[in-house]
Structure 1
């Protein structure tokens, strides 16, 4: 029996070391050499401080900034940890709302988002990403249409020319990869950082 058990234990130990330790360390080393920024979370620094990541959206509430799309992430309620509350862009709880197209709760939330955008005077045309959440709830990008729709309100809040903001949006629009893959998009954090550099 030991003659059969010993090779099995050796193989388990060997493959655990290879696939659980050596391979991940080798991949991490290659990633650190070839793509150090991406391997370390695509972090963005300003004045020596980390202000975010190009991969995770942030909740911008001020009218002086462009806003990202709604986020369906939640977090524990500080008053009662057994309950959860809305916590936009909570990276520790990445998820979508999982509400289907026939969900009354989804319809009510989208309608409330549309009304809030119009009431705040931020937009006059509703882009789909202005009122719908992403699958992860953390998407840092918006469509150029949504960014352009917010330009008048941001220009007014900052006392800037609208044409200046339109040019800024165009300069910060990421194009399709190889001209065909993906959709044009604007990273909200990078756009807002460029906006701060204008003043």
Structure 2
């Protein structure tokens, strides 16, 4: 009886293993998972948690937020506005990301605004849109970070010799006329202020701004489809005007799309702004929209 050479037997065994694993992991496993995904209760998530719009067509995913703006990025007044997003150009699921700026980001760079200026500018814009006071601590009236660059004759201490409003480029008028008896200057393009001591100025804004925090800061993923009940409430008067509806009916719709804390204790209540806006179109169609 002719015996198969040892080297050939090893190759045949390897081929058998490859064939078995290919059938198991390349065919059987995907088929089982596909079948399991069609089980009632799981099928919706397996298909992307799709949301049906007011027109009956797929309008997105319940897991991913959307921007309700026009082609120029201006908010559409007839819709509830989402929180800001740092995912790509906004809510891009292929570019989920945070802004990666922290509390120390208070001075604008030439090509990138600081986190403080982003927050200040967003708060002012939301305040203007909702017709409320959009001021915040450490923000100027024109919506940038209220931060001074203070020069001392002793380096970091001693007599103040020069003061610059670091985030207000010339010819802007500085938010403060003077600091410790020295006139405040606007920031000159290209000037080096690295030797200045950075001094944020709180200003007279209320400790609890009317514009909620989630209206001016992005989520960690940049994809969060929820806003806080406080931000939704802030937008009620505008939505009621634009939709020719009573504020009470708009609030009732908000309540329907508000979720509580997970397990009753985790996280905070949230309003699903995408589903809420679809419900708006169904309940209060905007004329001419």
TM range, smaller chain: 0.7 to 0.9
Residue from 213, 220, 239 that aligns with 1:135: 220
Q: Is 1:73 paired with 2:87?
A: yes
Q: How many residues align?
A: 187
Following superposition, which runs of at least 4 residues in structure 1 exceed 6 angstroms of deviation? none
Task: Determine if contact 1:123/1:153 at 8 Å carries over to the other structure.
Answer: no
Q: Secondary structure at the residue paired with 1:52? A: strand
Alpha-carbon distance in 2 for matches of 1:189, 1:161: 21
Task: Determine if contact 1:54/1:189 at 8 Å carries over to the other structure.
Answer: yes
In structure 2, do the counterparts of structure 1 residues 180 and 10 end up closer, same or farther at CA, with 3 Å as the change threshold? Answer: farther
In structure 2, runs of 5+ residues without a counterpart are 1-6, 70-75, 107-113, 134-209, 285-289
Aligned to 2:101: 99
Q: Provide the alpha-carbon RMSD of the alignment.
A: 2.3
Query: Which residues of 2 match residues 100-179 of structure 1 at below 5 A?
Result: 100-104=102-106, 105-121=114-130, 125-179=210-264
How far has the Cα of 1:44 moved from its partner? 1.6
In structure 1, runs of 5+ residues without a counterpart are 75-86
How far has the Cα of 1:8 moved from its partner? 5.2
In structure 2, do the counterparts of structure 1 residues 48 and 160 end up closer, same or farther at CA, with 3 Å as the change threshold? Answer: closer
Task: Determine if contact 1:173/1:184 at 8 Å carries over to the other structure.
Answer: yes
How far has the Cα of 1:12 moved from its partner? 5.2
Task: Determine if contact 2:86/2:222 at 8 Å carries over to the other structure.
Answer: yes
How far has the Cα of 1:32 moved from its partner? 1.6
How far has the Cα of 1:108 moved from its partner? 1.5
How far has the Cα of 1:109 moved from its partner? 1.0
In structure 2, do the counterparts of structure 1 residues 122 and 64 end up closer, same or farther at CA, with 3 Å as the change threshold? Answer: farther
Alpha-carbon distance in 1 for matches of 2:98, 2:20: 39
Q: Please state which structure has a larger fraction of its residues in helix.
A: 1
In structure 2, do the counterparts of structure 1 residues 33 and 155 end up closer, same or farther at CA, with 3 Å as the change threshold? Answer: same
Aligned to 1:36: 43
Query: Relative to structure 2, which stretch is displaced further, 143-152 or 8-17?
Result: 8-17
The structure that has the greater radius of gyration is 2
Any idea what the Cα deviations from partners look like across 1:25-58, whole Å, max 9, x if unmatched? 3223202223111110111223331112111111
Q: Secondary structure at the residue paired with 1:150? A: helix
In structure 2, do the counterparts of structure 1 residues 18 and 123 end up closer, same or farther at CA, with 3 Å as the change threshold? Answer: farther
Alpha-carbon distance in 1 for matches of 2:275, 2:245: 18
Query: Relative to structure 2, which stretch is displaced further, 50-59 or 113-122?
Result: 113-122
Aligned to 1:77: none
Aligned to 1:45: 52
- Give TM-score scaled by structure 1 length: 0.81
In structure 2, do the counterparts of structure 1 residues 48 and 25 end up closer, same or farther at CA, with 3 Å as the change threshold? Answer: same
Alpha-carbon distance in 1 for matches of 2:15, 2:103: 52
Alpha-carbon distance in 1 for matches of 2:31, 2:102: 41
How far has the Cα of 1:91 moved from its partner? 2.4
